[in-house]
Structure 1
Amino acid sequence: MAFKRKLADSYLPQKEQGFLGQGHIARTLVGRDFKLSDPFIYLMDDNIDKTDYIPVGGPHPHAGFETVSLLVDGKIVEQTESMEKGDFQIMTAGSGIVHTETIDKPTKGRLFQLWLTLPKENRWAEPRLQILNADKVPVSEKDGVGIRLYSGSLAGISSPVLNYVPLIVAEINLGAGKSTTLDLPANFNAFIVVINGNVEIGEEKQLLTAEQVGWLNHSDEDSVSELQLNAGKEDVRLILYAGKPQDEPIVSQGPFIADKADQIQKLYRDFRYGKMNHIAASPKQQIITY
């Protein structure tokens, strides 16, 4: 019998003032003890409603992990890295990279940006950018259940993006009163972010409401688990994240992730002395658009 997924924890993240000024409201969706959230380090929910032409943001470095970005709604207009609703990107910071997030004109959008660990053997991989635009995202539509699959394999469809850490990212839309049961690897750590509507999880029909984050139970077994989702009297839209834990400790400081503290200091030195290239200057084979 397949392992049955159910809610193990849920919470409502609080809104905070974001670093991009008055028009930026942020919520920390994931920021718990990494031993519990592995392979997920952080996940920020950035709501941006910029109405002026004053530049905010700017170039900054990353190393030792991957950023996984999904534009949930709207359009983010940046100088070099604009995104529209449904666009998905994975940037492998790896050995160290600089990227620019400068917004200098009115823009409105909601961005989920995840920090995903890298396996120890790939911690310092050559930087890479993968771009999966909204019109290229694999889609499944059946019996009132819609799935947009950004990463991994789910419900008979597969994303083309390449993963160092096995990762499923999917937007799931359930019509009012509709339900679905999805197969997930039982040993993947997984959580759900509800965008709107209320969804019942598992055979116990545990309720997860709009804007809540719900973590699912998981098993150590390398087998298949079942996730049952039921919509109530209104449509449901949610994002599912599931990834394989790496069981390797990390050190986090500022924009860097490493295995040891002294590696963090080296990364700061490399950045200060200009040893990190901009992602836009990466070799052509390291910038992949699907």
Structure 2
Amino acid sequence: MNLRREVINTYTPPAQPGFLGAGHIASPVIQVDFSESDPFIMLMDDRLNKQDGKPVGGPHPHAGFETVSLLLEGEMGDEAHRLKGGDLQLMTAGRGIIHSEIIDRNTSMRLLQLWLNLPKKDRWTEPRVQDLPFEKAPTHSLNGVTVRVYSGSLAGLKSPIQNYTPLIIADIQLESGATTIQHIPASYTAFLYVIDGSIQVGHKASNIQQDQVAWLNRSSDKVLSDLILTGGESGGRVILYAGEPQGDAIVSHGPFIADNQEDIRQLYQAYRQGTLKHIATVPASQRILF
């Protein structure tokens, strides 16, 4: 019998003023220790209602991990790297990169941005960017359940995104009372974030409401597990994150993730000396648009 995935921890992330100023509300979705969330370092839910044309955001560095940006609504980026609602971008910062997230117009947007730990052997890999537009993400609808897979494999669908860390990201929408059983590796760390409505999770039918996070039990066994989801009274929409733990301690400081403090010092030195390149200079072979 497959492991039954059940909810072991649930909470509502606090909404707080964001660094972009007026109209920016940020919710830190991951509220557990990294030993429990590995390979997930951080996930921010950024809501922005911008009512002027003053540019916000700007160039900043990253290294030692990947950012996985799922834009739920709105637009962001420059003309060369524009994201629209439903698009996903996975940026492998690797040995170090500078990128710009500039918003210079009136806009309403909502962005989920994940920091994903890299396997230790790949921490300093060459930077890479992958863009998966909404219309290219594999999608399946049946019996009141729609599954859109952005990373990994689920529901018989496989994303074209190339992963260093095995990762499943799926947008799952359920009509009221509609049920689905999805199969994910039992050893993967997994959590659900309800975007709209409500859902029931597992054989215990744990009720999870809009804006709530639900962490699931896991096993060290290399087998599949069953995840049961049912749409609530008015249906529900949930983002599933599931990834393979890497089991290595990390050091986090500012925009950098590393193996030790000396690595952090060298990254800051490289940034100050201007030796980190901008993402726009990444070779065409490292820029993948599906």
Q: Which TM-score applies when normalising by structure 2?
A: 0.98
Residue in structure 2 matched with residue 268 of structure 1 by the alignment: 268
RMSD between aligned residues: 1.0
- Give yes or no for contact 2:76–2:101 (8 Å, CA) kept in 1: no
Cα distance per residue 1:234-264 (max 9 Å; x no partner): 1211100000000000000000000001100
Q: Which amino acid aligns with 1:81?
A: H
Q: Per-residue deviation at 1:207?
A: 0.8
User: How far, CA to CA, are the matches of 1:176 and 1:88 in structure 2?
Assistant: 27
Unaligned runs of 5+ in 1: none
- Give yes or no for contact 1:77–1:83 (8 Å, CA) kept in 2: yes
- Which stretch has the larger CA shift, 112-121 or 23-32? 23-32
- How many pairs are equivalent? 290
Q: Per-residue deviation at 1:82?
A: 2.7
Residue in structure 1 matched with residue 139 of structure 2 by the alignment: 139
Identical pairs, percent? 49
Does the alignment pair 1:235 with 2:235? yes
User: How far, CA to CA, are the matches of 1:79 and 1:54 in structure 2?
Assistant: 17
Does the alignment pair 1:247 with 2:239? no
Does the alignment pair 1:180 with 2:180? yes
Does the alignment pair 1:94 with 2:124? no
Residue in structure 1 matched with residue 52 of structure 2 by the alignment: 52
User: How far, CA to CA, are the matches of 2:271 and 2:240 in structure 1?
Assistant: 34
Q: Per-residue deviation at 1:103?
A: 1.3
Q: Per-residue deviation at 1:77?
A: 5.3
| Structure 2 residue matching 1:30: 3-state secondary structure | coil
User: How far, CA to CA, are the matches of 1:127 and 1:231 in structure 2?
Assistant: 39
- Give yes or no for contact 1:79–1:103 (8 Å, CA) kept in 2: no
- Give yes or no for contact 1:77–1:105 (8 Å, CA) kept in 2: no
- Give yes or no for contact 2:13–2:31 (8 Å, CA) kept in 1: no
Residue in structure 1 matched with residue 214 of structure 2 by the alignment: 214
User: How far, CA to CA, are the matches of 2:31 and 2:83 in structure 1?
Assistant: 24
Q: Per-residue deviation at 1:32?
A: 2.6
Q: Per-residue deviation at 1:78?
A: 4.5
User: How far, CA to CA, are the matches of 2:94 and 2:232 in structure 1?
Assistant: 42
Residue in structure 2 matched with residue 65 of structure 1 by the alignment: 65
| Structure 2 residue matching 1:113: 3-state secondary structure | strand
Residue in structure 2 matched with residue 22 of structure 1 by the alignment: 22
User: How far, CA to CA, are the matches of 1:133 and 1:204 in structure 2?
Assistant: 36
